[in-house]
Amino acid sequence: MKTIDDLQVAGQRVFVRADLNVPLDGTTITDDGRIRAVAPTIAKLVERGARVIVASHLGRPKGAPDPAFSLAPAAARLGEILGQDVAFAADTVGESARSVTAGLADGQVAVLENLRFNAGETSKDDAERGAFAEQLAGLADLYVGDGFGAVHRKHASVYDLPKRLPHAVGDLIATEVGVLKKLTEDVKRPYVVALGGAKVSDKLAVIDQLIEKADRILVGGGMAYTFLKAKGHEVGISLLQEDQVPVCLEYLARAEKRGVEFVLPVDVLVSAEFPDLKTKAPAHPDTVAADAIPADKEGLDIGPKTRELYAAKLADAGTVFWNGPMGVFEHPDYAGGTQAVAQALLDSPAFTVVGGGDSAAAVRLLGFDETAFGHISTGGGASLEYLEGKTLPGLAALED
């Protein structure tokens, strides 16, 4: 793959497919990590005299404009980070986009409105996607792919557009791929994987691969309860995917046969009610053994004994990949498990990778120093699919 250092960008209109898909509370950005991650690539292009056109999706609008998903707040924040004015186009390929991009001078930056306001961006019809990509290509001379969080999507701006323009990878994607290669090709052992999050089905494919590669797999979050159910335990009203129990049983058996430690919670925090994440009112959870969850209660975080156990299992690691929180980290009464795992990663001498998504958000929300981790990915789904061994459309399109 070519990098941006291989491109002659001075005076050229450079289309940067970024990932500005940040969480919003109204028009307030609650986590700007993805904007900060792509800013160095944009700044480098600015310094070299490019006319930079930044494009991204945000949320899941239905192929038409929706003010709730406007990229205007992200454009404003990008300007603050870059320390310069950033123009904003009120559409993707319409009159505003054409006017704003045509008016750029060397070293200036513009952001297009949410790409998913156009149905062609996410269409499964190759012709419809291609037509939108042609319109986007008309705005620019060169293409830089730097939205790692979207490279697993076969979308117009990710897959079809780089085929229509001279292209290269941005510094963020180059870094992300380099890190993931360390998790697949050059692993320092013991290799420990910590998986959490809500649904076990979201992680089954990566667990299937990791049983062949990891030395130890720690499971928390909502997905743990399907594994606990597979072991015959009562899980009360905890999040459960009953149809995945047979698969979990199979994975537990495979891990044992291969000598891979598959570690489940030994205690959990439970409550009869889900916590109020707006008011953060005290939840007063109970701590129970993982095999003694009351029938009328829900597991919402790993307990103190499990936190100690997982910290011990991470202490001697050579490489750690962590994807998914251990509980409902957004509420202070259920943040302790996620906090304990994050702290264990910091205390470990291992090369540590935080696999994007909610894990990255949790690290920032809980006040950890991001630079203390080996790497914090900007793409949870993309990271998982890479580790599953899948071909990622957005990376394939950037090959020479």
pLDDT tens figures, 298-339: 999 999 999 999 999 999 999 999 999 999 999 999 999 999
Q: Is 80 helix (H, G, I), strand (E, B) or coil?
A: helix
pLDDT higher than 90, residue 17: yes
Give residue-wise pLDDT tens across range 154-171.
999 999 999 999 999 999
Distance separating alpha carbons of residues 4 and 8, to the nearest angstrom: 8
Give residue-wise pLDDT tens across range 18-75.
999 999 999 999 989 999 999 999 999 999 999 999 999 999 999 999 999 999 999 9
Q: What is the pLDDT of residue 381?
A: 87
Kind and range of the H or E run holding 346? helix 336-347
Q: What is the pLDDT of residue 370?
A: 86
Percent of the chain with pLDDT strictly greater than 90: 88
272 neighbors 298 (Cβ within 8 angstroms): yes
pLDDT higher than 90, residue 185: no
Give residue-wise pLDDT tens across range 205-245.
899 999 999 999 999 999 999 999 999 999 999 999 999 99
pLDDT higher than 90, residue 358: no
Q: What is the pLDDT of residue 318?
A: 96
Determine if residue 282 is left, alpha or beta; phi over 0 gives left, psi from -120 to 50 gives alpha, anything else beta.
beta
User: Which residues make Cβ contacts (< 8 Å) with residue 285, sequence separation at least 6?
Assistant: 269, 270, 271, 300, 301, 333, 334
User: Which residues make Cβ contacts (< 8 Å) with residue 266, sequence separation at least 6?
Assistant: 289, 290, 303, 305, 306, 309
Q: What is the pLDDT of residue 186?
A: 81
pLDDT higher than 80, residue 352: yes
Positions marked catalytic: 34, 199, 357, 381
Q: What is the pLDDT of residue 107?
A: 98
Q: Is 35 helix (H, G, I), strand (E, B) or coil?
A: helix
Q: What is the pLDDT of residue 256?
A: 96
pLDDT higher than 80, residue 357: no
Q: Two tokens at 195? A: 């998986």
pLDDT higher than 90, residue 355: no
Q: What is the pLDDT of residue 105?
A: 98
Give residue-wise pLDDT tens across range 360-387.
889 988 999 888 999 999 888 899 899 8
| Residues composing the chain | 400
Give residue-wise pLDDT tens across range 248-281.
999 999 999 999 999 999 999 999 999 999 999 9
The order of strands in the sheet holding 13-17 is 86-88, 109-111, 51-55, 13-17, 142-145, 167-169
Distance separating alpha carbons of residues 29 and 69, to the nearest angstrom: 12
Strands 286-289 and 267-271: antiparallel
Going by pLDDT thresholds of 50, 70 and 90, the confidence category of residue 202 is confident
Distance separating alpha carbons of residues 246 and 270, to the nearest angstrom: 25
